[in-house]
Amino acid sequence: LPALIKTFLPNYLPAIEAVKILSISIPFIFIAAPGVQVLFSSEKYLKTVILLSLFTLGFNITLNLIFIPLNGYIGASWITVISEVLSFVIFFVFINYQVLKKTDK
């Protein structure tokens, strides 16, 4: 991607660093998304999933309000990565201890 930006969008060269940082979050997004979508399809877990999603959204917004004035878009990039990791961990724990443990019994 940096080569494409350098060639076709040279005005966006400073964004290359942000793109590299944001790419760290890709595995966490793709690992968490299927489980979250399955939970969204279940009425039993829908309210909990929405509340957990709102929690991670609030976490992201709060940290962005703190770090964007200090670090600009690079700070926002890191906050996005941290938020995606947090979301992955929260939903992994929820699925593991609430959903899978109930089916084992």
Q: How far is CA 3 from CA 10, 25, 27, 43, in A?
A: 10, 21, 22, 46
Residues 6+ apart with CB under 8 A from 27: none
Q: Provide the pLDDT for residue 80.
A: 95
What is the rounded CA–CA span in Å between residue 17 and residue 92?
A: 29
Residue 99 confidence (pLDDT): 74
Q: What integer pLDDT is reported at residue 103 of this predicted model? A: 52
**Which two three-digit tokens encode residue 69?**
């004035």
Task: Give the model's pLDDT for residue 45.
Answer: 84
What integer pLDDT is reported at residue 102 of this predicted model?
61
Dump strand ranges (E) for 1-105. none
Q: What is the pLDDT along the chain (105 residues), one digit of tens a residue?
A: 778 888 898 888 888 899 899 999 999 999 988 888 888 887 888 888 889 899 999 999 999 999 999 999 999 999 999 999 999 999 889 888 877 776 555
The pTM for the full model equals 0.81
How far is 34 from 27, CA to CA, in rounded Å?
Answer: 12
Mention every residue, 6+ apart, whose C-beta is less than 8 A from residue 22: 77, 80, 81
Give the pLDDT confidence score for residue 76 in this predicted structure.
Answer: 96
